[in-house]
Amino acid sequence: MKLALGYLIGLVFGVGIALSGMINPAKVLNFFDLAGTWDPSLILVMGGALAVTAIGYRLVFGRDRPLIDDHFHLPKASAIDARLVGGSALFGIGWGTAGFCPGGALPAIGTGRPEVFIFIAALLVGILATRAVVDRRTATAAAARRT
Amino acid sequence: MTAFTPVASLVGGVLIGVASVLLMLFHGRIMGATGILTGAFLPTSAGDRGWRIAILAGMASAPVACKLVTGGMPALDVPIGSAALIVGGVLVGVGVTLSGGCTSGHGVCGMARLSPRSIVATLVFMAASFATVFVARHLLGAA
């Protein structure tokens, strides 16, 4: 049940990414090219997604808990720090370089195109290497607090 | 050039929103591609991996689902070389891990919750993407 629902939700998300053009690096890069071949389509993607999510979340958060879990898993971090801003800047530079973001590239796997696998492999290297460094630092800091 | 596709893009955006709301309604989770992917490789508990892999499988099925309905795979043109894909991919991976989210997690779900962190993150990564494409295409002369 949980897995079937997850699959369907992923499918809806992926069809949305495919239909909207977020799956297509040429379209994404043209959206960012204000001074050249600008394609404003992505404004409508963000607008549509945000409007539906903002309204839907209001309704969902009126509940005590989700339908098949015992609580909502919401991010606890609240600091606006150098890590948030620097990380976002690096992400933006990478997105403007490759034209894929994670949510665009994951559904694109289904096209079987080799360029997608190159991007995903590089993405995973970046994610897992950074996680390893961050987790080690967190562990070191926790150990330092204990002594 | 890519054509302006207001209707398809708006409908696609609405579907992305519907998926985000459904995941919160059923699983109580943020529909963030970065978080779902990272947790599939590094789950925080034994039961935490299955739903993530189910979502990833659903996502990856989407192009074939589109082909079954429309008769063709969705358009996907990569106007850059392998080096840019690799450099961009690593930068995206490092960046989204440090900032804790990407276009879906911060840009859609976090913004919809009016999370100050997500609003700052989205403004910064969008500005950086616009600047990067300007530099690459108009100052360095890339395609």
Q: Using the beta-carbon criterion (under 8 Å), do B79 and A6 form an inter-chain contact?
A: no
Q: Does A65 contact B at CB distance below 8 Å?
A: yes
pLDDT on residue B143: 62
Taking contacts as CB-CB distances below 8 angstroms, the residues of chain A near B49 are none
Token pair recorded at residue B127: 């500005």
pLDDT of residue B142: 74
A139 touches chain B (CB under 8 A): no
* CB contact (8 A) between residue B99 and residue A110: no
Q: What total of structural domains would you count in chain A?
A: 1
B120 close to A (CB below 8 A)? yes
- What is the pTM assigned to this prediction? 0.96
The 3-state secondary structure of chain B reads: CCCCCHHHHHHHHHHHHHHHHHHHHHHCCCCCHHHHHHHHHCCCCHHHCHHHHHHHHHHHHHHHHHHHHHCCCCCCCCCCCHHHHHHHHHHHHHHHHHHCCCHHHHHHHHHHCCCHHHHHHHHHHHHHHHHHHHHHHHHCCCC
On chain B, the residues whose CB falls within 8 A of the CB of A130 are 93-94, 97-98
Q: What does the alpha-carbon distance between residue B59 and residue B8 come to, in Å, rounded to a whole number?
A: 18
Q: Which of B13, B93, B120 sits opposite A123 (nearest CB)?
A: B93
pLDDT in tens, chain A (147 residues): 889 999 999 999 999 999 999 999 999 999 999 999 999 999 999 999 999 999 999 999 999 999 999 999 999 988 999 999 999 999 999 999 999 999 999 999 999 999 999 999 999 999 999 999 998 988 898 888 887
Judge: A106–B56 Cβ closer than 8 Å, yes or no: yes
CB contact under 8 A, A25 and B79: yes
pLDDT at B135: 96
Q: Which domain holds residue A141?
A: 2-146
Residue B46 near chain A (CB below 8 Å): no
Place of tokens 């395609």: B143
Q: Looking at residue B80, what is its pLDDT?
A: 95
Q: What is the ipTM of this complex?
A: 0.96
- What's the whole-number mean pLDDT along residues B117-131? 98
Is A69 in CB contact (< 8 Å) with chain B? yes
Measured CA to CA in angstroms, residue B123 lies from A53, A59, A62, B128 at distances of: 18, 26, 28, 9
Element (H, E) at B131: helix B116-134
Q: pLDDT digit string (tens) for B41-84? A: 999 888 899 999 999 999 999 999 999 999 999 999 999 999 99
Tally of CB atoms within 10 A around A64: 8
